[in-house]
Amino acid sequence: MVDATTLTLLATMVQTVVITLTLLVFIFQFRSQERAIRESSYQNLLGRYNDLMMTSSSNDDLLLARLLSPNMELDAKDLASIRRLLVSYGIIEEAYELYKKGWIDNESWEQWNSWLKALCRHPHFARLHSSTTGMYDKDFEEHVSRLLGPSPNAPQ
Among 7-21, 65-79, 107-121, the range with the most confident prediction by mean pLDDT is 107-121
Q: How confident is the model at residue 66 (pLDDT cuts 50, 70, 90)?
A: low
Q: Give the pLDDT mean for 51-59.
A: 59
136 sits in which H/E element: none
Q: What is the dihedral of CA 131, 132, 134, 137, to 10 degrees?
A: -140
Q: Running DSSP on this structure, what letter comes out for residue 150? A: S
So what's the pLDDT on residue 152? Answer: 47
* Model pLDDT, residue 83: 79
- Structural domain count of the chain: 2
Structural domain that includes position 114: 56-148
Q: Is residue 47 part of a domain?
A: no
Residues 10 and 72 in one domain: no
**Residue 155, in any domain of the structure:** no
Beta-carbon contacts of residue 91 (< 8 Å; ≥ 6 apart)? 45, 48, 49, 52
* Whether residue 79 is found in the same domain as residue 143: yes
